[in-house]
Amino acid sequence: MTTTSERVSEVLTRQVSKVSQSVFDGSRLRVVLLVDVYDGAQQQFLEAYEQLCNQVASVPGHVSDQLCQSIENPSQWLITSEWESAPPFLAWVNSEEHVRMVEPLHSCVRDTRSLRFHIVRETGTGIGRSQNRRLQTSPRIGDGVIRHALTFTVRPGTEEKVAKILADYASPEARVDDTTRLCRTSLFMHGNRVVRAIEVRGDLLAALRHVAQQPEVRAVEEAINPYLEQDRDLNDQESARVFFTRAALPAVHHVTADGLSQGERYAQYYPVVPGCGMRLAELLAQHDEAAAEDAASPVLRSTVFQRDDVVVRLVDVRDAAGAEPLLQRSEHAAELKSLLEGEAVRMTLVTDRRSPDA
């Protein structure tokens, strides 16, 4: 006979084992940007911010923003903004318009760090606002791993050369510092598009900087430079910044149904109807949330990466051959099909590397 306490324990175990992150909660978003301004450039920075602020005010989904200066170090600034939800912010921050809009800031800024948070609770709101507020209904359970991807294209006809270069380099040191380490890097190609998915425990920005400084990685990046469709000069800070800003492919949803099984990893690329990338990513997220609740589903973990109309789904499954039919039988199958210009394509795995104690 199962006691009440045992049943509660079973429910809690299932909840804790399911790891989930998502930008599709529908709740309001708080964005925090930490900025380190060059000495003597405070006025230039303030003028650039005022120009940016006026432009951002007309962006759909933007609610408000604040600019704060440290009382202890005048070179340290804090920009906070509130958005109706995460999707409109991501659509703006990942756009070419944003790249152009923030350009005046970079000549006066030494370093930046961006943090994004769903609003879960708040106090001090008026009656009217409290009735209309959209807060995250419950906290999500994480696993301490940050998932991110980079994507870029190479010149058609050079795919085999690029794949060989990207497959043959030595892995960089996994340990970044006392709190950050690289866990896993999976690299895929489809046609001339490259997608590198990264899993980091700790500080993602510190890990990316660490990787960029490793001789093995630096040599690979220099070797593929002649084959890239977008020119870059890694010795030029601004050129490298613009390239990697455009290459960023954020994780917009992740769910882990089983944290113990390793599974087989593959990546699916979706040829999206122009302008429909975010909606497609949301439907894929809904599908994978449902799959995580289904004990018969082969899906162990799934991450949806999306930027504009580039959508990639990274999946770990018990049986790779059995994963996609579930997607085709999804209640959203008809809408999913309407958002695609063709069939989803399984990308070619170039390399999949784990750190020894990931």
Torsion of CA 6, 12, 18, 24, to 10 degrees: 140
The model's confidence at residue 358, banded by pLDDT at 50, 70 and 90, is low
Q: Rounded CA gap, 59 and 41, in Å?
A: 27
Report the pLDDT value the prediction gives residue 329, as an integer from 0 to 100.
Answer: 59
In degrees and rounded to multiples of 5, residue 169 shows phi and psi of: -85, 155
What pLDDT, on the 0 to 100 scale, is given for residue 330?
A: 65
* Per-chain mean pLDDT for the chain: 86
User: Residue 11 has what pLDDT?
Assistant: 38
CB atoms within 10 A of CB 147: 22
Find, among 38, 32, 313, the residue nearest to 190 by Cα. Answer: 313
Rounded CA-CA distance 70/65 in Å is 17
Over range 55-73, report the average pLDDT: 94
Contacts of 352 (CB under 8 A, 6+ apart): 184, 185, 186, 187, 265
Least confident segment among 36-50, 170-184, 329-343: 329-343
Q: How much is the pLDDT for 12?
A: 38
The identity of residue 42, as a single letter, is Q
Residue 17 has pLDDT above 80, yes or no: no
- Please state, for a pLDDT cut of 70, what percent of the chain lies above it: 88
Between 10-14, 194-198, 227-231, 323-327, the lowest mean confidence (pLDDT) is in 10-14
Q: Which segments of the chain are extended strands (E)?
A: 19-22, 29-37, 62-69, 76-83, 109-118, 145-153, 181-190, 193-201, 248-256, 264-271, 299-307, 310-317, 345-346, 348-354
Element (H, E) at 338: helix 333-338
Report the pLDDT value the prediction gives residue 172, as an integer from 0 to 100: 83
Backbone angles phi, psi at 84, to 5 degrees: -60, -35
Two tokens at 226? 């002649």
Specify whether the CB–CB gap between 250 and 90 falls below 8 A. Answer: yes
pLDDT of residue 325: 54
pLDDT category, 260, cuts 50, 70, 90? low
CB 19 within 8 A of CB 256: yes
349/299 Cα distance (integer angstroms): 18
CA distance 42 to 69: 10
**pLDDT tens for residues 209-259?**
888 888 888 899 999 999 999 988 888 888 888 888 899 999 999 999 866
DSSP secondary structure letter of residue 227: G
Residue-wise pLDDT for 117-163, tens only, equals 999 988 875 544 545 567 777 788 888 899 999 999 999 999 999 99
137, exposed or middle or buried, with CB in 10 Å at 0-12, 13-18, 19+? exposed
Q: What is the pLDDT of residues 276-303, one digit of tens each?
A: 999 999 999 998 888 888 887 888 899 9
191 φ/ψ angles, rounded to the nearest 5 degrees: 60, -125
Measured CA angle at 301 (ends 270, 16), to 5 deg: 140
Question: Is the pLDDT confidence value at 267 over 90?
Answer: yes
What pLDDT does 259 receive?
A: 63
Is it the case that residue 350 has pLDDT exceeding 80?
A: yes
Helices (H), 72-186: 86-93, 96-101, 127-132, 159-167
pLDDT-derived band at 205 (thresholds 50, 70, 90) equals: confident
